[in-house]
Structure 1
């Protein structure tokens, strides 16, 4: 263990918390290969794989589960030492924990760090997958903010409505037969194929809008599974006839970089048809009510990020969407 440095420890803790090595690389502003080397060094030192790649994301091994609290304690103690040894005129750096659904995790860390640089602030943060334990973690101080699809009912938590989703992208492999359909007539074709649900807890974790649509058509939608980690979606789609929906521009941009995957923005008429019985998702920012617990610039940046990711911002439907994707992956818009 003597060759394991603090950076490697921080990488392990962040990968354990997010189960997504790419998001960790983005958050730390390093190449993904550096994250892989750190994990490889740790695996070699411990003689354990630490993380096993499953169909929908990483799964920590029992050794990783045991190691995590000790490594997390090391980082906390280091933070306390730095706080006590810093000049009193310099405010101590605080580590923020933000819960976000998989479709909003892409680029979130890098956007927040870039804004921190503009503000002249030091920012240490972890972006973790949204889960049912999020509200309780906020109350117990284990997390600072949570992006959610519904408001919290807990008295000590405040909920800020951000916006309602206006975008939906259809994602499948390049040679999928569904791409032969015209943009305004895809839904009836989509329900002929297995559907991979990209999970959005509190929105489609029980039943997806496409399931309701299929039921209304007297059809049965075949579910291929549920993906809670965006990085595994492309692998699943490449090896099957499955199709999935993504509701955030940043997530679509992320998936567009995978070879063999095509993306098309759903037309406005079909978007409305799909959400006839199940309204589009609402987005909320949830945090503790304590005044000043999170800086206002961080809160505002989060809200701006969500709004720009899930709504038809000015010019996005015609110009911005084409800027996001390579020419062969641009969403096909309805005439």
Structure 2
């Protein structure tokens, strides 16, 4: 890693956010070959391609997804050091910190960066894991926005309702027996297997809909464990009979990169049955009430991202079951 310098880190972050190496070269005023050399050095050091070339441009690998928040934090800290020591030549750019649950963290930074470019706005941001201290961090200025499953009761915070979840993906290893079940008759079989919980503050505070469904059937749901980040999910699933649910399309798309994992979107009849006594989650964005704390275009873009991830387009509401999506499935589920 001795060949990895701050410039290489900056190149990686910019390529991750733009998914276009030529635009990064233009922005940094360097030859495209220099960008290629930086990425090659990083690929060699990490033993990972980092970006896969697709028809529509680059696509980050899971390693790149994991690396991005750490490298972004390095650049953020460097900027703070320069600001505090008076070395910054221009007025410091406003840096926004957004707290998000694991299922909504994937691609969030990239999507908001693209929207900023469309708005001809400069945007520097960090996406950090949602935690129980989120509301207090907002009040103290340590964070700017928070995606949550419930509204805040604090007087100085404003909670904006985004949507109620309408999607749920069943995820298990490729050769799991659950895939032999009819798509419209899976719930009764799912509760026979250990269930992996993705940790989400506020959402996990209540009884899980599947746990309540199992109790209604006179059964006790067995928990396989808890995953704090999506990258841990495949590790749990690959070596066990565990099953998990993912409630956002962006998270499901992220998991498609892990070989050996299959997912199927739950049919609408079973989705409704699962949430008969425990409603699906609500999604809110929470921020400080003070005027101008966050640009309205950024707030709107964040709400649009969440809404598109957790709801179905009107024409897709139907009673039939959805297809199975094995690992590396195509085309994109966001289409």
TM-score (norm 1): 0.75
Aligned equivalents of 1:29 and 1:222: distance in 2?
Answer: 41
Aligned to 2:33: none
Aligned equivalents of 1:36 and 1:258: distance in 2?
Answer: 24
Aligned equivalents of 1:136 and 1:78: distance in 2?
Answer: 27
SS of the equivalent of 1:308 reads helix
8 Å Cα contact 2:138/2:144 also seen in 1: yes
Aligned equivalents of 1:36 and 1:289: distance in 2?
Answer: 45
Aligned to 1:237: 237
One of 75, 79, 82 as aligned partner of 1:78: 82
- Taking a change above 3 Å as real, the CA distance of residues 270 and 96 of structure 1, as seen in their structure-2 partners, is same
Alignment pair present for 1:192 and 2:199: no
Matches within 5 A, 1:54-93: 73-79=77-83, 85-86=89-90, 92-93=92-93
Q: Which runs of 5+ in 2 are unaligned?
A: 22-37, 47-65
8 Å Cα contact 1:264/1:329 also seen in 2: no
SS of the equivalent of 1:85 reads coil
Aligned equivalents of 2:19 and 2:250: distance in 1?
Answer: 17
- Taking a change above 3 Å as real, the CA distance of residues 30 and 305 of structure 1, as seen in their structure-2 partners, is same
Give the C-alpha shift of residue 307 in structure 1. Answer: 0.5
SS of the equivalent of 1:221 reads coil
Matches within 5 A, 1:104-119: 104-119=104-119
Q: Greater CA deviation, 72-81 or 127-136?
A: 72-81
8 Å Cα contact 1:25/1:35 also seen in 2: no
8 Å Cα contact 1:96/1:124 also seen in 2: yes
Q: Deviations over 1:15-63 (max 9, x none)?
A: xxxxxxxxx98447589x959949x69xxxxxxxxxxxxxxx99xxxxx
- Taking a change above 3 Å as real, the CA distance of residues 314 and 298 of structure 1, as seen in their structure-2 partners, is same
TM-score (norm 2): 0.75
Give the C-alpha shift of residue 257 in structure 1. Answer: 2.3
Q: Which runs of 5+ in 1 are unaligned?
A: 15-23, 42-56, 59-63
Give the C-alpha shift of residue 199 in structure 1. Answer: 2.0
Aligned to 1:18: none
User: Cα RMSD over matched residues?
Assistant: 3.8
Aligned to 1:183: 183
Aligned equivalents of 2:210 and 2:15: distance in 1?
Answer: 34
Alignment pair present for 1:310 and 2:310: yes
Alignment pair present for 1:209 and 2:213: no
- Taking a change above 3 Å as real, the CA distance of residues 173 and 82 of structure 1, as seen in their structure-2 partners, is farther
SS of the equivalent of 2:299 reads helix
Aligned to 1:174: 174
8 Å Cα contact 1:160/1:285 also seen in 2: yes
Equivalences, count: 291
8 Å Cα contact 1:224/1:242 also seen in 2: yes
Give the C-alpha shift of residue 330 in structure 1. Answer: 7.5
8 Å Cα contact 1:98/1:146 also seen in 2: yes
8 Å Cα contact 2:103/2:251 also seen in 1: yes
- Taking a change above 3 Å as real, the CA distance of residues 93 and 164 of structure 1, as seen in their structure-2 partners, is same
Aligned equivalents of 2:271 and 2:5: distance in 1?
Answer: 50
Matches within 5 A, 1:1-335: 5-7=5-7, 26-27=16-17, 29=19, 37=42, 73-79=77-83, 85-86=89-90, 92-316=92-316, 329=329
Give the C-alpha shift of residue 280 in structure 1. Answer: 0.4
Aligned equivalents of 1:221 and 1:257: distance in 2?
Answer: 29
Aligned equivalents of 1:93 and 1:101: distance in 2?
Answer: 26
Aligned equivalents of 2:9 and 2:308: distance in 1?
Answer: 34
Give the C-alpha shift of residue 221 in structure 1. Answer: 0.9
Give the C-alpha shift of residue 315 in structure 1. Answer: 3.9
SS of the equivalent of 1:96 reads strand
